Structure 1
Amino acid sequence: MRTIFLFLVVLILQTGCSQENKTKMPIVDFKQEMLNNAILVDVRTPEEFSAGHLDNAENINWYDADFSDRFNTVDKNKTIYLYCKMGGRSAKAQEKLKSLGFTNVVNLEGGYDAVKANN
């Protein structure tokens, strides 16, 4: 009985942790193969984007008045990977998209600065 109880506790903890991992992940762990049924969005300004960005990223500026409207044609169940310079704007964008009904929004923590630091 004790073994079953311990097994259930471990299972519950793993399930809880895996849900957390689905909402954020280090940007250095991101792989282009993850875009099979997903989109990658850089929420930095166009100037920041033009100075360098991840391959296949779409630039949707967090500061633009039509930020939310730019996602009107995106399937709400599609995975959206977000990143910015360091992680602040993408975290705000993640919360905004969740409030709009998007269910699979992943914040790539560390931002583009972390990518540059690892190259």
Structure 2
Amino acid sequence: MKKLILLLLLVSLSCKEQGNQANAQSEVLTATEYKEVISNKQVQLVDVRTPEEFEAGHIENAVNIDFFRDDFKTAFTTMDKDQPIYIYCKSGNRSGKAAKILSELGFEEIYDLEGGFSNYN
């Protein structure tokens, strides 16, 4: 019984550590930091909001890849995993989830806009 408990504890800790590693490359930037970086160079900029939200207003040069698309993961196949990717949504919730997915897909540098587009202007 003690061995079983120990084994379960070790597995639990291992899973938790793997989850932390999957999001290790994601960084949340303030609106000021985000604006500065994306205005100073050519970047991969992705808006993960719906097309309707995107049409209502978005950051210049952003590509719209709706988080709720059935093919969300495959929509990133044309992007360079070795280059930084900047993502945002309305409030930071969807982009946070998207950052985890992108990390799992092999993107190495992922930057998320704190507070989302609502906080950008």
TM over 0.5: yes
Q: Find 1:30's aligned residue among 28, 31, 34.
A: 34
Aligned residues with identical type, % of pairs? 44
- The residue type paired with residue 27 of structure 1 is A
C-alpha distance 66-21 of structure 1, shift in aligned 2 (>3 A) = closer
Aligned to 1:93: 98
Runs of 4+ in 1 over 6 A off after TM superposition: none
Deviation at 1:28, TM superposition (A): 3.5
- C-alpha distance in 1 between matches for 2:102 and 2:25: 17
Aligned to 1:68: 73
Q: May I ask how many residue pairs the two structures share in their alignment?
A: 96
TM-score (normalised: structure 1) = 0.73
Deviation at 1:24, TM superposition (A): 1.4
1:38-95 deviation line (CA, Å, top 9, x unaligned): 2110000000000000111100000001111111111111111000000000000000
2:110 counterpart of 1:105? yes
Aligned to 1:83: 88
Counterpart contact for 2:90–2:118, Cα < 8 Å:
yes
TM-score (normalised: structure 2) = 0.72
